[in-house]
Amino acid sequence: MSNVKPISDILQYGRSLLEDPHNRTDRWLSAYADNQNDTGSASVSLSDSGRYQSFLAMIQDNRVISEQGENLQNIAVLVKAFENTRSLRPEFLNDIPDTEDEARLALSGGCVVYINALLRGKQGLNPFAGLSRQALSLIAWNTSGALTSAERIAAYLEMNQCDQRYETAVFYATEMQVNDMPDMLSAVELGTQITLIEGMCEAEKQDKGMTSEQIHTLQSHFKIWQQDNDSGYQPLHYANLVKGDNADLLVAHTGWNGEFHWKVDSSQRLFDAQKKGHQIAPVTRMVYLGS
The model's pTM is 0.84
In DSSP terms, which residues pair with 254 in a beta bridge?
260
* Interval 119-144 mean pLDDT: 95
DSSP string covering 51-64: HHHHHHHHHHT--E
- Helices 149-180 and 75-84 cross at an angle (nearest 10°) of 90
263 - beta bridge partners?
251
pLDDT given for residue 45 in this prediction: 52
**pLDDT band for position 46 (50/70/90)?**
low
Q: Are 255 and 245 in contact (CB under 8 A)?
A: no
Using DSSP's 3-state secondary structure scheme, residue 180 falls into: helix
Q: How does pLDDT run across 79-127, given as a tens digit for each residue?
A: 999 999 887 788 999 999 999 999 999 999 999 999 999 999 998 999 9
Per-residue pLDDT at 15: 45
Q: Judge contact between 76 and 30, C-beta under 8 A.
A: no
pLDDT of residue 228: 82
Q: Regarding predicted confidence, which is higher, 8 or 121?
A: 121
pLDDT tens-digit profile of 205-264?
Answer: 999 999 999 999 999 999 888 888 776 788 999 999 999 889 999 999 998 888 999 999
69 vs 76: CA distance, rounded Å: 15
Nearest to 146 by CA among 265, 287, 291, 290: 287
> What pLDDT score does 67 carry?
87
Query: What is the model's pLDDT at position 290?
Result: 87
**H or E stretch including 114?**
helix 102-119
Q: Which residues share a beta bridge with 65? A: 96
Q: What is the pLDDT of residue 141?
A: 98
Mean pLDDT of the chain: 85
- Give the three-state DSSP class for 79: helix
- Which of 50 and 199 is assigned the larger pLDDT? 199
CA distance 275 to 17: 18
